[in-house]
A and B are shown apart, each in its own frame.
Chain A
């Protein structure tokens, strides 16, 4: 047994888990608001990270300026994507919409490779030190920032949906579009808004992850990792997304420990979340917190 390694991995798992939770939340947001299963969620991270990297290195802007620029870009990107690509798909069969998002995912991945190449590019150093020691554990400052940012975003979501006029309108739209319209809420605006928020917050996660591991097309794998988290939590539950993200993050790291200590299979940490996906779909397809759909025939 290697206790300090286990502890380190658990801390990593929690931090990574909150990040998964944030991205899963973005995924759920789009699903709830506009009933689109967005397979291009991972590419939002990828695009956000590349754009931020480009703004920081090629344009040479400082981080405090380059980062907001990235967010503004992603907001516009999300809105344009919804309006141009997904709005005409409203009313089409769900499978067609899924095919469109898978297509978008491939398209964006290739475009990013074409523009920025396939080599992993490190972010310019943003923090002075490479790691800080907390209670004898090494934690990268970027991860600390990630944890902090994730928690702020989660709190922000809660406040936004509970207390703001737009949040109320979005909840109303998610529940019943027709009723929302009869009360004067523009459903089209709410769709665009949900995509904008989702793209922005995902990009933020992409930047954080990029700072730690460098930017490369591997970032879009995040979208695949997030999928088990979303299914585990229940496709239409924001709280479920966060819990699902935490569980997947922890599981991944514990799998790595188990693998390294005893099994020596290698790469178990990549596979473990997908096992969870299969199992959860078999025994509880609506996830931990999702709406149980009972269809009467």
Chain B
């Protein structure tokens, strides 16, 4: 579970698009092995934060420290190599490729053999490599319960399975830190329960640190170790799910006023009948 040394440390990160300040001096740290959630109303800057970590955006101020190294200006594609993987809010699978190929692209950076050594398949270790990669990929496929669709073309699948394939592709990178942008958006209850189970297993059994954005407060409260709340680009609360849900600023951001209570955690726990 969570230990004290942070795998990811966000220090006073600001991000501006021309006049709009999407993030304003946001800072938090994610402990190694944590299951960490970022929540907040629409337009709060959650995805912008995730994009800063994954390198799509470059913060205008502040630093991002990953495993003790400053990665604020590191190239996007290099971040996959140091162990940061992600999924996207809107599905972004390679629609024309099979599920298996989609996942194999995730292994791409781990492949050592090239065009030439691959040509001497049996001697250059390419065969051994391919076998070991396939074994790992099969493990991921089994874990995410998508073995029945492994040969299917990704673009033909329904929404729920596609989300799983996308997760499988990110997991195939073997990241130390996996960023999930709304992994349960648009899912029905059953699919959400499955996804929540996968995320917990990823965190506990596969040892990945998870940073996730999710709108379903019930799920967030049930599975997260720690939550940070953003609103209008600012951090308004941080702490355990229980601390956060009682925070007056959070209630104000979500409900506009203080009177109406959020659903109590007990009610939300019904959602989590998977446990």
Contact = CB atoms under 8 A, between A and B. Distances in A.
The answer to whether A and B interact is: yes
A164 B76 contact: no
B94 A171 contact: yes
B54 interface: yes
A185 B81 CA distance: 9
Nearest to B169: A183
A237 to B, nearest CB: 11
B106 A183 contact: yes
B133 to A, nearest CB: 11
A184 B94 contact: no
B73 interface: no
A166 B109 CA distance: 11
B109 A175 contact: no
Given A164-B115, A176-B92, A186 B75 contact: yes
Contact of A183 (B75, B80, B118): B80
B157 to A, nearest CB: 16
Interface in B47-88: 54-56, 75-81, 85-86, 88
Most buried by A among B77, B79, B86, B94: B77
Nearest to B111: A165
A30 interface: no
A183 B55 contact: no
Interface string A185-223: 111000000000000000000000000000000000000
A164 B108 CA distance: 10
Contacts of A184: 77-81, 108-109, 173
B188 interface: no
A165 B94 contact: no
A178 interface: yes
Given A178-B56, A183-B169, A184-B173, A168 B105 contact: yes
A172 interface: yes
B104 to A, nearest CB: 7
B108 A169 contact: yes
Interface size class of B (residues with CB under 8 A): 20 to 34
Contact of A178 (B81, B92, B169): B92
A182 B104 contact: no
A164 B111 CA distance: 11
Nearest to B88: A179
A180 B115 CA distance: 20
Contacts of A270: none
A183 B97 contact: no
A168 B113 CA distance: 14
Interface size class of A (residues with CB under 8 A): 20 to 34
B77 A181 contact: yes
B128 interface: no
Contact of A182 (B76, B95, B111): B76
A165 B115 CA distance: 7
Given A171-B97, A175-B96, A176-B94, A185 B77 contact: yes
A168 B98 CA distance: 12
B114 interface: yes
A168 B76 contact: no
A160 B118 CA distance: 12
B101 interface: yes
A200 to B, nearest CB: 15
B50 to A, nearest CB: 11
Contacts of A160: 115
Given A165-B111, A183-B105, A184-B108, 14 more contacts: A165-B113, A166-B115, A168-B101, A169-B108, A175-B94, A178-B56, A178-B92, A181-B55, A181-B56, A182-B85, A182-B88, A183-B106, A183-B173, A185-B108
26 contacts: A160-B115, A165-B115, A165-B118, A166-B115, A168-B104, A169-B105, A171-B97, A172-B105, A175-B94, A178-B56, A178-B88, A178-B92, A180-B77, A181-B76, A181-B77, A182-B56, A182-B79, A182-B80, A182-B170, A183-B85, A183-B108, A183-B169, A183-B173, A184-B173, A185-B108, A187-B77
| Across the A-B interface, the 6 shortest Cβ-Cβ residue pairs | A184-B80, A184-B109, A181-B76, A179-B92, A186-B77, A175-B94
